[in-house]
Amino acid sequence: MLFSPNRVPSRCANLILEKTSSIYVYEKDRSYFEQCFKELRVLGRGLFGEALEVECRETGNHYAVKRALHTFESAGNRQLKLREATNHEAIPPHTNIVKFEKAWEE
């Protein structure tokens, strides 16, 4: 999931589970994440995932990305993760909460 530290409205206001970027080209060797973002540092890490500070290669904007460390264990587990993304998207703007931008699967 991609979170923005600023309050600027996103062109990706609704949950997007597709890979959208003008610089992304489908290829099996490099993922959407690798093509579109530059990893700057690890913000935190847990048993199931990590949070990264990244720079968007297209815009230069900085974001926090929550990345799962493991693939989905089942269809139910995938649905749980999709629900988590949808719930984050539904949170109204607040000065103490980072803005949800979009989510995608790889």
Residue-wise pLDDT tens for the chain (106 aa)? 555 554 333 333 344 445 567 787 777 788 888 998 999 999 999 998 999 999 999 999 999 999 888 887 888 888 888 898 889 889 999 999 888 888 888 8
pLDDT at 19: 57
In the chain, the domains with their CATH numbers are: 2-20+30-102 (3.30.200.20)
18: buried, middle or exposed (CB in 10 Å: 19+, 13-18, 0-12)?
A: exposed
Binning the chain into helix, strand and coil, the percentages to the nearest 5 are: 20, 30, 50
Give residue 20's identity as a one-letter amino acid code. Answer: T
pTM comes to 0.70
Q: For residue 66, say whether it is annotated as part of any ligand binding site.
A: yes
β-strand pairing of 62-68 with 37-45? unpaired
